[in-house]
Amino acid sequence: MSNLWPADSAVLCDGQPSADTVEVVSPLVADVGSITVRRLLPRRARRLVGPWCFLDVFGPVKQSGRKPMDVRPHPHIGLQTVTWLFAGDALHRDSLGSEALAVPGALNLMTAGRGIAHSEETPAGATGAVHGVQLWIALPDAQRSIAPAFDHYAERPHVDVPGGRVTVILGRIWEVSPPGRTFSPILGAEIAADRAPRVVVPLDRAFEHAVVPIDAGLALDDLRLAPDTLYYLGTGRDEVCLGVEPGRRPRALLLGGAPLGETVLMWWNFVARTTEEIVAAREDWQAGRRFGEVRGYPGARLDAPAYVARPVPANPMS
């Protein structure tokens, strides 16, 4: 997915963990074409969770017969994208020639490295339903100029635990560690609670973590959790214990990773370190250089917004 947010200023993200209290990050909501998007990262209150630097929840759109997702070809640098769906489908195409259908339970993982372009759209003949998340992972400085790649994983392993099922998207929980091209210690998982009173997932104390409920019906200690909200847990926790309301089957994302320890500069669809890199990437995209061509997408590619050179505002997105 492209960053379609109506913001033109760069966002500086210093990869330092915060205290181990719970920070609540409420979503910024926007209607982007025919779909509602809730932005949870980056926000003023929280820029990074481990290497996770971007999180949009989109949908749910019920069976609509329309094309709720239609993100025209656009470029990325310095990051990986994760598309993870709870319902519906989305067709990915990129400038490497990859074509892959994202469906619930499958992982689309795109490594931009020094540059790639892609599109994501509701496929022709689909029901028009979609509900999912788009995540970006900041690449560490040493790897951020690697060659681009795309990986589709049809299945992710899960573990059934008292109170629910945990699907490992990336990283490791217990001894479950599915294949996945990653470049710094990371965790991404979907928790599907299916009965009260609780579901417990062990955590790596060295990681910072966040819980993002997708449905109502979860609690963290005495705190009732709201859907589409990011609860940042900091580092130093051995486990997360989520209370489950009787009769509900709420889902949540669990994100984590070693604190990145680097300051990244984000603008539009680029994760960089300097303004010069962002300007160069933008110019290359506009001039048709570097990123290649996305073949098969029925329409024009996305133009980059103007880059407005100015100091990074203290409060760019809230």
Residues at the site binding Mn ion, with contacts judged by CB under 5 A: 1-2
Closer to Mn ion at the Cβ: 2 or 95? 2
Could you tell me the smallest distance in angstroms from the CB atom of residue 76 to Mn ion?
6
Closer to Mn ion at the Cβ: 85 or 218? 85
Closer to Mn ion at the Cβ: 115 or 250? 115
Could you tell me the smallest distance in angstroms from the CB atom of residue 74 to Mn ion?
6
Q: Which residues, including other chains, have CB under 8 Å from residue 82's CB and lie 6 or more apart?
A: 107, 108, 109, 133, 134, 135, 136, 137, 169, 170, 188
Could you tell me the smallest distance in angstroms from the CB atom of residue 232 to Mn ion?
24
Q: How far apart are CA 87 and CA 274, in angstroms?
A: 37
Which tokens in the block code for residue 192?
């599907």
What are the backbone angles phi and psi of residue 184, rounded to the nearest 5°? Answer: -155, 160
Closer to Mn ion at the Cβ: 1 or 186? 1
Residue 188 pairs in a beta bridge with 170, 255
Q: What is the dihedral of CA 180, 141, 149, 76, to 10 degrees?
A: 120
Could you tell me the smallest distance in angstroms from the CB atom of residue 2 to Mn ion?
5
Could you tell me the smallest distance in angstroms from the CB atom of residue 3 to Mn ion?
8
Q: How far apart are CA 105 and CA 213, in angstroms?
A: 17
Closer to Mn ion at the Cβ: 134 or 167? 134
